[in-house]
Amino acid sequence: MGNADLKKLKILEAATRRFAHFGMAKTTMSEIAKDLSFSKALLYYYFPDKNALYSAVFEYVIDKMVSECEDMLTGTVDYEEAMMFVLDKRIQLINQYYNLFEYTVSIINELPQEIERVFKDCFLKEIELFGSILTIGIKQGQLQVDNVEETSKIFLYSLSGMRMGMLKDMKSIFLPTKEEFDIILQLQKKMCKIFLNGLRKA
């Protein structure tokens, strides 16, 4: 890794800690620079504004989760176990970076272009991840899936729809509490089993 890449990574790690602990609104570029003993000018060289840095942090934490899940997939032939692992990881990520996600939800109707791009990229990465899991089941001769990408999309939409649908029964208006996410996870796992059962070969 080159010196520039190393500096960028250090900025991302420091910003991730700040955003996760204090949230986007209560974090300044000056504080992140101070944490690293970097000049603000150096920070702005890599990230022209806080939205650009926030977008990069969001992508960074999603990429870490996807990477951990992909590592798990290389060592398993059990598609259902893999699916449950990914569902657990998704909720763990939200709990760990709750303040990060909270900001995103609060600006959902007026997303800056860069954050919107990252959202779409992350969505595609998750579709690919679920597609890899379905492919494990297909290769094992246990699942029958006509269109892996489309089926992965339907599954991801179902997970998102469950979360949004359940909000009306919970105290939160936009983002569930950490405790509520545990309830959502259990129901998502039940839905997942029903979904996978529908794809099993007769």
3-state secondary structure the chain: CCHHHHHHHHHHHHHHHHHHHHCCCCCCHHHHHHHHCCCHHHHHHHCCCHHHHHHHHHHHHHHHHHHHHHHHHCCCCCHHHHHHHHHHHHHHHHHHCHHHHHHHHHCHHHCCHHHHHHHHHHHHHHHHHHHHHHHHHHHCCCECCCCHHHHHHHHHHHHHHHHHHHHCCCCCCCCCCHHHHHHHHHHHHHHHHHHHHHHECC
| Number of domains present in the structure of the chain | 1
pTM score, whole prediction = 0.87
| Predicted pLDDT of residue 107 | 65
Task: Look up the CATH number of the domain holding residue 117.
Answer: 1.10.357.10
Residue 143 — φ and ψ, nearest 5°?
Answer: -120, 150
* Per-residue confidence in pLDDT tens, the chain, 202 aa: 677 788 999 999 999 999 988 888 889 999 999 999 999 999 999 999 888 999 999 999 999 999 999 999 998 999 999 999 999 999 999 888 888 887 776 666 676 788 888 889 999 999 999 999 999 999 999 999 999 999 999 999 998 888 777 766 666 556 677 778 888 899 999 999 999 999 998 7
> What whole-number distance in Å separates Cα of residue 177 and Cα of residue 160?
16
| Predicted pLDDT of residue 126 | 95
Domain that holds residue 95: 50-199
| Predicted pLDDT of residue 183 | 85
- For residue 30, being part of any structural domain is answered with no
| Predicted pLDDT of residue 113 | 81
- For residue 6, being part of any structural domain is answered with no
| Predicted pLDDT of residue 41 | 92
- For residue 125, being part of any structural domain is answered with yes
